[in-house]
Amino acid sequence: MILTLKTGAKKNEIEALTNKIKKLGFTPHISRGAVKAIIGVIGEGENKFKEIFESYDIVESATPIVKPYKLVSREFKKENSVIDIDGVKIGGKGVVVMAGPCSVDTKENLFTCAKAIKNSGAHILRGGAFKPRTSPYSFQGHGVAALKILAEAKKLTNLPVISEVMDTRQVEVVARYSDIVQVGARNSQNFDLLKELGQIKNPIMLKRGMANTIEEWLMSAEYIVSKGNRNVILCERGIRTFENSTRFTIDLNAIPVVKHLTHLPIIVDPSHGVGVRDYIPAIALAAIAAGADGIMVEVHPKPTEALSDGMQALLPVMFDKMMNDLRKVAVAVGRFA
């Protein structure tokens, strides 16, 4: 249920209303828009209290939210959410580029990569520390040591960093070293992890599970937001289809659909979605043309030394060209990069 408040509603009146909401067993989520404040009444069976809510003077209207996800829906919040990471704004007019190696290997490689992507105009440095690998015999990531190298690269370049968390036991350490905490496709429906991430301050980038519908993906986002962390960035990274000439199939359709259904920003990861170096830039450009708020791409200065996903890492020179093209596409669709 969304309670739209009249302009000029006073603090004590809002407090009386939120106390009532809590007393009835629901959780109030207040969102202050440019003109009006609204309160999301979240729980089960709140619709039968519609008349009680409407009896409050400050309530202009009480509207049920029909979607299964509430707080992340456009019904709850009309304006796009813009997430600010040290001045890098995700979800605004600017298109944001996250780049870096699949996994952090050596300090030297990461520093070379970080400096190169920064020179080409990237905004955020990525680097895996805890790696979700299909095989238990594959490289599993350098863990905390990698997070520390990532933090050094941040100091060197001033780029905010993003790294993946796989387990509730890693949340504290990943959140300490990483500006944005990434949830990978394989953990997109790890609900206990999502609930935990709802209680930290860092923005969360939530990838779409490779077999999740958009609705399931938004329900996962709702898990995080309903626990109090509103800073969720969605990331389309390809879904499983019958096609096997690329690693997954990037669902470009998801971009306008997500923009319609939710106020959260959406990033596209063509690296994991496509999996073939030479095809990646084209899909990165297509994502921006279709309205994505940014992209995440894997870049490695020496792909043959990469400990994971070397075959899909762009060389810095390819990344640089992609950035030049991307700036033009961004401008063509009324944005900038």
Per CB under 6 A, residues contacting ligand PEP are 102, 128, 132, 164, 184-186, 207, 237, 269, 272
Closer CB to ligand PEP, residue 46 or residue 298?
Answer: 298
Residue closer to ligand PEP, measured from CB, 40 or 238: 238
Q: Would you say 207 or 230 has its CB closer to ligand PEP?
A: 207
Q: Which residue's entry shows tokens 């949830």?
A: 183
- Taking CB atoms, the residue at the shortest distance from ligand PEP is 184
Residue 237 beta carbon to ligand PEP: minimum distance, rounded to whole angstroms: 4
Nearest distance from C-beta of residue 298 to Mn ion, angstroms: 6
Residue pair 236/250 in contact (Cβ under 8 Å)? The answer is yes
**Site for Mn ion, residues 295 to 324, rule: CB under 5 A:** 309
Q: Does 235 bind Mn ion (CB under 5 A)?
A: no
Rounded to a whole number of angstroms, the minimum distance from the CB of residue 306 to ligand PEP is 12
Q: Residue 128 or 265: which CB sits closer to ligand PEP?
A: 128
Kindly state the tokens that stand for 153: 């690269």
Q: What are the tokens at 62? A: 């009480």
Report what 207 binds from Mn ion, ligand PEP, none; CB cut-off 5-8 Å by kind: ligand PEP
CB of 95 to Mn ion, least distance (A): 21
CB of 323 to ligand PEP, least distance (A): 19
Q: What dihedral do alpha carbons 119, 120, 123, 127 form, nearest 10°?
A: -90
Residue 41 or 258: the one with the smaller Cβ distance to ligand PEP is 258
CA-based nearest residue to 120, from 102, 101, 98: 98
- The CA distance from 24 to 232, in Å, is 28
Q: Please identify, using beta-carbon distances, which residue of 31 and 220 lies nearer to ligand PEP.
A: 220
Choose among ligand PEP, Mn ion, none what residue 225 binds, the Cβ cut-off being 5 to 8 Å by kind.
Answer: none
The nearest distance, CB 133 to ligand PEP, in angstroms, is: 8
Q: Is 105 in the site for Mn ion (CB under 5 A)?
A: no
Output the DSSP codes for 49-84.
Answer: GHHHHHTSTTEEEEE---SS--TTBTTT--SPP-EE
Q: For residue 190, how far is the Cα from the chain centroid?
A: 16
Tell me the residue type at 46: E
What does 164 bind: ligand PEP, Mn ion, none (CB cut-off 5 to 8 Å by kind)? ligand PEP
What pairs with residue 314 in β-bridges?
A: 299
How do 83-85 and 88-90 pair as beta strands?
antiparallel
Q: How many CA atoms lie within 13 A of 116 on its CB side?
A: 23
Shortest Å, Cβ 72 to Mn ion? 26
Question: Where are the alpha helices (H) located in 121-250, listed in sequence order?
Answer: 143-157, 171-177, 191-197, 214-226
Q: Which is nearer to Mn ion, 226 or 312 (CB)?
A: 312
Closer residue to ligand PEP (CB): 3 or 98: 98
102 contacts Mn ion (rule: CB under 5 A):
yes
HSE-CB for 142 with a 13 A CA cutoff: 18
> How close are the terminal C-alpha atoms of the chain, in Å?
37
Residue listed under structure tokens 């659909």: 257
Number of residues near Mn ion (by CB under 5 A)? 2
The least distance separating ligand PEP from the CB of residue 139, rounded to whole angstroms, comes to 12
Run of H or E residues at 204: strand 204-207
Q: Which does 300 bind (CB under 5 to 8 A by kind): ligand PEP, Mn ion, none?
A: none
246 CB contacts (<8 Å, ≥6 apart)? 238, 273, 274, 275, 276, 279
91 or 273, CB closer to Mn ion? 273
CA distance 64 to 245: 45
Q: What minimum distance in Å lies between the beta carbon of 212 and ligand PEP?
A: 12
The site for Mn ion (CB under 5 A) is made up of: 102, 309
